[in-house]
Amino acid sequence: MNLHEYQGKEILNSFGVRIQRGIVAHNHKEAVDAAKQLTSETGTSWYVVKAQVHAGGRGKGGGVKLAKNLQEVESIASDIIGMMLVTPQTSAEGKKVNQVLICEDVYYPGESETEEYYISVLLNRETGRNMIMYSTEGGMDIETVADETPHLIFTEDIDPCLGLLPFQARKIAFNLGLSGGALKEMVKFVSALYTAYIKSDSSMFEINPVLKTSDDKILAVDAKVSLDDSALYRHKDYAEMRDLREESPIEVEANAAGLNYVDLEGNVGCMVNGAGLAMGTMDLIKQSGGEPANFLDVGGTANAERVEKGFRIILKDPAVKAILVNIFGGIVRCDRVAQGIVDAYKNMGDDIKVPIIVRLQGTNAIEAKQLIDDSGLPVHSVVEFQEAADKVQEMLA
């Protein structure tokens, strides 16, 4: 589950990670009140208005703007709230901005001694350990740094039993070119950041930029936080931070129905039981010249109700030109699934306007094929994987 910047910063702050202070506003009036409150709390006279959407690169898209007085806060906030923000990480259509974060300005004007760094904490899947990834090239898109100057990206693997050791935090600060008070501040920052990552059961923290002010304070100016969904039951307060407006509506509906669904770009809808088979089926579709429109794992109980729900969800995507159902009957019997498909089809009638190719393999596969063939419905039943691929190709031609 992804969080907004302001929510990520709240979590960081609760673990003692120093952050750029900010207050959320939903309209221009709240924005001005927020700015006044920030001035009374921090003494700041300039502000930064930041669009809160689940996408990076907001600065480049015009979603982060400096305001030098309250009038500017008001007009910039009015412009940004409600806009469709397009960034390198959104679709061409962009994301609607429902709220902004009004922040204190932390780049002391006219000072050249501020520095921006990149620091993230994430799971290194190759070593199976958490790692801290960091770079002197903060404020830039890290993918670009990785492409152009990979030697400027460092990593530090963390032993799960020992946690982040003091020498590792010092090494990070040292590699970032710090010394004296700034080095000490960075050691504190990195240690608190790692603790926050572990205690919040996160799967990724990305702080870009981490700022060193001219008076050697180290703070998080941005925060991209992903929480581990499987651990949310331990953090009821974080679970409430979910903003469904930021998620794909089809995915939200599918998840509510207990279906594991991921929206993709292609034209062939897939309904499969089991994540591994779903991946294999997507490969098959690609090899037969199609592009999967989704990943959909209906799970172990592929009954009529779930199959119907699955069809309905797949068909919400207008790009779908054919549906491939690929079910392995291990625990669930194929004839049960076939009956489910027939029932679902009858229920939905005219709602299904694309060809459906069904491959049922495993327990009672023959009975299942018979059931579908006898139903008289325009459902193409096949037995072999390759047959299914050929049929998809034929249907798309």
**Catalytic positions, please?**
118, 206
34 and 52 Cβ atoms separated by less than 8 Å: no
Determine which residue in the list 208, 273, 339, 381 makes contact with Mn ion, applying CB under 5 A: 208
Stretch 99-128: interaction string toward ligand GDP, x if CB under 6 A:
----x-xxx---------------------
Type of residue found at 133: M
How far is the C-alpha of 306 from the C-alpha of 343, rounded, in Å?
Answer: 11
Residue 94 touching ligand GDP (CB under 6 A)? no
User: Smaller CB distance to ligand GDP: residue 141 or 201?
Assistant: 141
**Alpha helices, H only, 43-179:** 70-80, 142-148, 166-175
Type of residue found at 344: A
Residue 198 touching ligand GDP (CB under 6 A)? no
Determine which residue in the list 10, 74, 178, 209 makes contact with ligand GDP, applying CB under 6 A: 209
How far is the C-alpha of 197 from the C-alpha of 279, rounded, in Å?
Answer: 30
How far is the C-alpha of 83 from the C-alpha of 96, rounded, in Å?
Answer: 6
Stretch that binds Mn ion, among 203-211, 255-263, 287-295, 384-392 (CB under 5 A): 203-211
User: Smaller CB distance to ligand GDP: residue 58 or 369?
Assistant: 58
User: Smaller CB distance to ligand GDP: residue 41 or 373?
Assistant: 41
Determine which residue in the list 30, 45, 54, 59 makes contact with ligand GDP, applying CB under 6 A: 59
In whole angstroms, the minimum distance from the beta carbon of 259 to Mn ion comes to 33
Dihedral class, residue 248 (left if φ above 0, else alpha if ψ from -120 to 50, else beta): beta
Helices 166-175, 180-199: axis angle to 10 degrees equals 120
**Alpha helices, H only, 16-61:** 28-42
How far is the C-alpha of 278 from the C-alpha of 327, rounded, in Å?
Answer: 9
**Tokens 């700015």, located at residue:** 35
Stretch that binds Mn ion, among 140-148, 221-229, 351-359, 387-395 (CB under 5 A): 221-229
User: Smaller CB distance to ligand GDP: residue 245 or 346?
Assistant: 245
Instruction: Note the Cα 282 to chain centre separation in Å.
Output: 21
Residue 9 touching ligand GDP (CB under 6 A)? no
Residue 381 interacts, among ligand GDP, Mn ion, none and using kind-specific CB cut-offs from 5 to 8 Å, with none
User: Smaller CB distance to Mn ion: residue 89 or 301?
Assistant: 89
In whole angstroms, the minimum distance from the beta carbon of 193 to ligand GDP comes to 16
How far is the C-alpha of 97 from the C-alpha of 55, rounded, in Å?
Answer: 11
Residue 386 tokens read as: 């390759």
**Number of other CB atoms surrounding residue 182 within 10 Å:** 20
Residue 221 touching ligand GDP (CB under 6 A)? yes
Stretch that binds ligand GDP, among 57-65, 71-79, 90-98, 267-275 (CB under 6 A): 57-65
Residue 222 touching ligand GDP (CB under 6 A)? yes
Type of residue found at 277: L
Residue 73 touching ligand GDP (CB under 6 A)? no
In whole angstroms, the minimum distance from the beta carbon of 47 to ligand GDP comes to 8
DSSP 8-state assignment for residue 335: H
Interface contacts to ligand GDP, rule CB under 6 A = 20, 48, 50, 56-59, 64, 66, 103, 105-107, 139, 208-209, 221-222
